[in-house]
Amino acid sequence: MKTLCLLITIFLLNSCGEDTFKKAFKLQSLRVLAVTAGKNGALTQAEFDPGDTAVVTVYVSDVEFAQTVTGVIETCSDPGVSYGKEASCENVADRNTSIANITLNTASVSGRTGAMPSFNVTIPNTVLLGRSTADQFNGVNYLVTIRVSTPDGQAIRTFKRLTVTTRTTKNTNPTLGTILFNGNAFTSYPGEGDLSLSTTSTEESYQFQSAGGEITNLTEQLNIAWYISDGELSLPVTKRGEVTRFKPGEKGTLTVVAVIRDGRGGMEVAVKRVP
Amino acid sequence: MWFILLLTGMLSVEAKTLEGQLIEKGTRKKLSDVKVFVLPHKLSALTDVDGKFVINDVPEGEFQWVVNQSGYIKYEQTDNTANPISQIYLEKIAYKIYETTVTSKAKKRDDATQTLTQEDFLMMPGAGYDPVKAVQNLTGVAQTQGAQIVIQGSAPDDTGYMVNQHQIPLVFHFGGLSSVVMPNAVESVDYLSAGYGPEYGRAIGGLVGLNTRSPKTDRLHGLAYLDIFNSGAMVEGPINSKQSFLFAARKSYIGTVLAKVLEDEEGFNFTVAPTFSDVTGIYEYKINENNRFKFDVLGSQDEMKFLISKPVSNDPNLRGDFYNRTEFFRLIPRFVHDFDAKSSLDTSVATGMDRIIVRLNNQYLDIKAKRITTRAEYRREVSPRYKFFTGIDTQSSWNEVEVNLPKVYNNGGVSDPFSSGSRAVTKIESNHGLYAAYIRNEIKPSEESKWTFSPNLRLETFEKTKDNLVSPRGNVRYALSESLNLRLASGLYYQPAQPQESDKNFGNEDIKPPKAIHVSTGFSKDFKGGSSDGFLWNSGVFYKKLDDLIIPSSKLVSRNGSLTAENYSNAGEGRIYGLENQVKYHYHDYTLTLAYTILKSTREEPGVSRHSSQYDQTHNVNLIGAYERGKWTYSTRFRYVTGNPYTPVSGATYDADNNVYIPIRGPIYSTRLNDFIQLDLRVDRKFVFDKWLLFAYLDIQNATNHKNEQQINYSYDYSQTQATTGLPILPTFGFRGEF
């Protein structure tokens, strides 16, 4: 209880603090925006069986410098990222470094933001071996780590969990339509107004098994992360159906990115460039 | 003719009898054994125990009342026998802050306990008249901004809290603004540090215990107060010659004040302003000379709800309705039986419930815990050379926990973002029992011996983790002279794991209780030589060795044939040592207290070399001064504390699934916040009316507006940092009335 009091105090302090930090929604230098994964042959499926092959795609942005982005990929069993281990395959026994590097020249894609070439990851058959029934049901992660970098020395380390589960109903990637301004499609630099999505999928229900074996029915929560290359946003993350208020900047060109996530590893990306 | 005129005159001056009562102005205290004069007739009478007096043969007509009593302003009042006043209110030369303060003697059994009586803590500057805040001014207690007492470099969770010797879940309301029991209902507060006795346990750092008092029996008393954060009232008095009662209640409106302050804060709206309230009820029945019954009712509630419309910087997904309610109540019947002058039995039971609800959108933690704690102690003075105290101390709880939260890794005080944790959803129903028995011995080799030896023992069982534990403890005292005492205390202490640490979903079912060995030694010297003015010096050193400390674990372990997350392990250890010095000086209307602690608190765990602990506050200086003059009291407190260590973040990895960055921690607790410096000023003024007293105060906290860093905040990718600072200059005022 005392720890709880401490957490609440810290949370309040965090919430009340007036910060001058750079904004998470602003696209400027090198950023990784999303890493999507789907089952090879059934790309909407976001969870996997042992032995499946996943198709993985990294979305990056380098609006200011428009450089070639290189990605170095490694895969391994999750060393325990949620429990405090560093998200790295470096000291993991089944580390796999055989996947070829990927590159994207951001100068050649619209809005200097886009998908790097997809690559395949084959999940070992042994991932679930020795794990508890609850872990196997809720999912054991196989980790994909990517180090993206640019020639000027910028570098970001990112990772994606490929969730391997015995669930019969696997999670699917959420979907999203096009990005709208004040509810309409737009082709020129907008004034002040609301950004939203034409369509999105709805929340899926799923089951969670506790260590004691009890099953709880849960519903996932869809969040949409917004990124812009110019101007301001009222909300960097919205819930499904919510809008975020855009205030224009001075650049005259705008890249808008929306990434929908279901909180269970499923995600999809939409990119819009005007004019 | 002359004779006739004289006789007529004599017959016309009839003698009167004046009856009245002498009462202290403001407090309505009946003043006994005071001489009341009637002038110029040179008549007088002495007041009885009720302050009443009778003066016979007062000639009719004008006269003058005169009362000249030491400690009081001389009373002179012209009156007339035709309609004389019946009550005389005598005003004191100097009033204390609270005249209704209960004066009691600190009852402590060993030198590891410091006890502040109501008189001590209500008069202590810088404590806001709060018993637990007063403890924060003592040596060994860390400076914290939150609702915690951190003792001698231990962790906050290593401190136990009690009311009337029974465990309570928390001792402070939100933010440490006020303790959970009305201060005026508290007789004393005990602060138990290194080497504390066998009566208590389950806290490897130390304990803080509040003891409620007996209601007053002389007449009906009342008190009400109002300040900018909260208000409250208390009433007490006799029911009949054997029974008495006290009832107190408080309610805060700090939330309304905060909501107003934060009205313009973009992205943050209180939908239910934070409030706290508490009630204290006490009934006492002195059955006869040998039997006493006391019944305490305590209740406390804290509640707040707010809407975070804009996400926090390093976790963009964290947004929505936040709700928190923490409440508990306890019913504590206590029966004391004196077998004879040398032996007694003290028995009490506390029953009650704790409830905690934390909710953020669809994520929640809901804890309901029914609790029964029992204590019974038999005391016997076998001979002038040998006394013993033996007793039991049990805690039983029936818990229902519903949780749907991510397990968030936190190490070195740096927490991974909430959104990155692995989810745990579960409903737990469990029963826990903690049972202990103890014996304390006090042995003197001879009646005149300067030595006192206390070999003590505590036996404990922690039912959930199936631990049976033996805790030998002891202390030695040597009275070198009447004014100089030397002491040595040591002991072994165990503490049950926190519920989440031993839970099979969130923690580790095989976790063991952490333990500590305490050693402390020191002296106390009274330089006053029987006078009320002069110095008192109390000094000592302490050492604590902490083992089997529970730390977060990122290992996978085999349990029931399956690999699973260990979550927590007993791989931590720690060492703490320090020197404490307290000097009190009193001279006429001036008091000055210096409390200075220097300590080193370190921790070690596998893969991480020995490092400072989070509460390694090397220097902790409290300088408190007060000056009383008539109806005015001026007080000040100056605090200097070395900045708390914190763990720097050296980088971060982007978690693409949750859209957050996970921090990469640098060397654990290798950097420090800036030093804490605070100057508080306070002025109190008392207004004395015939039948009641009014107090007004102006309190200025952080008068120099020093920006004290409280914690480090990070940008979304941990590439930028910014310190959150504590309270700015904060002037407050309030009023209190008593009768």
Residue B262: pLDDT over 90: no
**Interchain CB contact of A132 with B (< 8 Å):** yes
Q: Alpha-carbon Rg of chain B, whole angstroms?
A: 30
What is the pLDDT averaged over residues A179-201? 94
Q: What angle do CA B228, B234, B236 make, to 5 degrees?
A: 165
**CB-count burial class (<10 Å; 0-12, 13-18, 19+) for B402:** middle
Note the pLDDT of residue A15.
42
Note the pLDDT of residue A229.
96
Find the farthest-apart pair of alpha carbons in chain B and give their distance in angstroms, rounded: 129
Neighbours of B330 (CB within 10 A): 23
Residues B465-520 pLDDT 10s:
899 999 999 999 999 998 999 999 999 999 999 888 888 777 898 999 999 999 99
Note the pLDDT of residue A1.
45
Residue B69: pLDDT over 60: yes
Structure tokens at B26: 């403001």
The CA distance from B136 to B641, in Å, is 12
Q: Residue A132 to residues A138, B67, B378, B668, B721: CA-CA distances in angstroms?
A: 10, 87, 51, 32, 40
Structure tokens at B567: 């979550």
Type of residue found at A227: Y
Chain A residues with CB-CB distance to B651 below 8 A? 157
Answer whether B426 sits within 8 Å of A211, measured CB to CB: yes
| Ramachandran sector of residue A107 (left: φ over 0; alpha: ψ -120 to 50; beta: rest) | alpha
The CA distance from B528 to B483, in Å, is 9
Highest mean pLDDT among B28-32, B95-99, B546-550: B546-550
CA of B550, closest CA in chain A: separation in Å? 14
What is the residue-averaged pLDDT of chain A? 90
Helix (H) or strand (E) run with residue B393 in it: strand B386-407
Residue whose pair of structure tokens reads 């050379």 in the numeric block: B385
DSSP state of B120: H
Note the pLDDT of residue B300.
96
Helix (H) or strand (E) run with residue A8 in it: helix A2-16
Substitution target from A2, A12, A48 for chain B, most B beta carbons within 10 A: A2
Chain A residues with CB-CB distance to B562 below 8 A? 130-133, 135
Residues A9-41 pLDDT 10s:
444 444 444 467 889 999 999 999 999 999 998
Q: pLDDT band at B713, cuts 50/70/90?
A: confident
Number of residues written out for chain B: 739
Structure tokens at B387: 């006394």
* Short-list B598, B597, B588, B485, CA closest to B536: B485
Find the farthest-apart pair of alpha carbons in chain A and give their distance in angstroms, rounded: 58
The CA distance from A129 to B247, in Å, is 63
Residues B292-325 pLDDT 10s:
999 999 999 998 887 766 666 667 777 778 889 9
The CA distance from A243 to A239, in Å, is 8
Residue B74: pLDDT over 60: yes
Residues 6+ apart with CB under 8 A from B264: none
* Contact predicate B737/B224, CB 8 Å: yes
Q: Residue B10 to residues B16, B18, B60: CA-CA distances in angstroms?
A: 14, 20, 11
Residue B281: pLDDT over 60: yes
The CA distance from B318 to A237, in Å, is 9
Answer whether B268 sits within 8 Å of A17, measured CB to CB: no
Residue by residue, DSSP assigns B202-245 as S-SSEEEEEEE-PPP-SS-EEEEEEESSEEEEEEEEESSSSEEE
Torsion of the alpha carbons at A122, A123, A126 and A127, rounded to the nearest 10: 160
Q: Residue A264 to residues A215, B422, B469: CA-CA distances in angstroms?
A: 17, 10, 44
Residues B340-395 pLDDT 10s:
999 999 999 999 999 999 998 778 899 999 999 999 999 999 999 999 999 999 99
Chain A residues with CB-CB distance to B654 below 8 A? 32, 156-159
Nearest to B316 among A16, A85, A236 (CB): A236
Nearest to A2 among B157, B565, B714 (CB): B157
Residue B197: pLDDT over 60: yes
**Interchain CB contact of A14 with B (< 8 Å):** yes
Q: pLDDT band at B168, cuts 50/70/90?
A: very high
* Contact predicate B158/B128, CB 8 Å: no
Residues 6+ apart with CB under 8 A from A103: A68, A69, A70, A71, A116, A117
Residue whose pair of structure tokens reads 């004395």 in the numeric block: B688
The CA distance from A144 to A138, in Å, is 19
**Interchain CB contact of A127 with B (< 8 Å):** no
Note the pLDDT of residue B607.
85
Residue by residue, DSSP assigns B546-579 as EEEEEEEEEEEEEETTEEEEEEEEEEEEEEEEEE
Could you report the predicted ipTM of this complex, rounded to two decimals?
Answer: 0.94
Q: Residue B523 to residues A9, A223, B484, B534, B622: CA-CA distances in angstroms?
A: 38, 63, 7, 17, 20
What is the residue-averaged pLDDT of chain B? 89
Nearest to A214 among B157, B317, B427 (CB): B427
Answer whether B356 sits within 8 Å of A1, measured CB to CB: yes
**Interchain CB contact of A269 with B (< 8 Å):** no
Q: pLDDT band at A5, cuts 50/70/90?
A: very low
Q: pLDDT band at B559, cuts 50/70/90?
A: confident
Chain B residues with CB-CB distance to A159 below 8 A? 653-656
The CA distance from B578 to B597, in Å, is 7
Q: Residue B265 to residues A20, A209, B420, B708, B714: CA-CA distances in angstroms?
A: 14, 41, 27, 21, 19
Answer whether A10 sits within 8 Å of B358, measured CB to CB: no
